[in-house]
Amino acid sequence: MATTQECRAALDRLSEQLAAAPDEVRSAAALDRSVSCHLKDLDVTFAGRLRSGGIEVTDTLAGPHPGPGRSDTHRQKAAIRLTMTSDDLVALVAGELNFAHAWATRRLTLDASFRDLLTLRKLL
């Protein structure tokens, strides 16, 4: 199991990879959307924004994604929500795990609007 610090570093590497990606991929990452990534095994959620071709992590929260149904209803539900294990996050960013395979086998879940999914498919 990866640590919270290793996962945060993986998200920083992912942001750097997006910034260095080809134009068509960077255009998909140029969305301005709230994003959260819940790591089931650590029971930690990273919250932030996807914008300007990268991911800006602004908060690390205990528990699952913020939003309706939680006691922290003052926090907004992210427009793009990922759920996976810490090891899968690290493997995805390192290129050791294929996103499509992880999604198809339910190792990773992605919740977003249909329109955002169509735009994000360039990243995936």
Closest CA to 112 of 85, 83, 87, 78: 78
pLDDT of residue 56: 92
Q: Which of 5-9, 66-70, 83-87 has the lowest mean pLDDT?
A: 66-70
Cα atoms in the Cβ-side hemisphere of radius 13 Å centred on 115 = 3
Closest CA to 19 of 55, 70, 67, 69: 55
- pLDDT, one tens digit per residue, over 46-73 is 999 988 778 899 999 999 976 655 445 4
Query: DSSP letters of 66-115?
Result: -STTSS-TTSPPPSEEEEE-HHHHHHHHHTSS-HHHHHHTTSSEEE--HH
**What is this structure's pTM?**
0.85
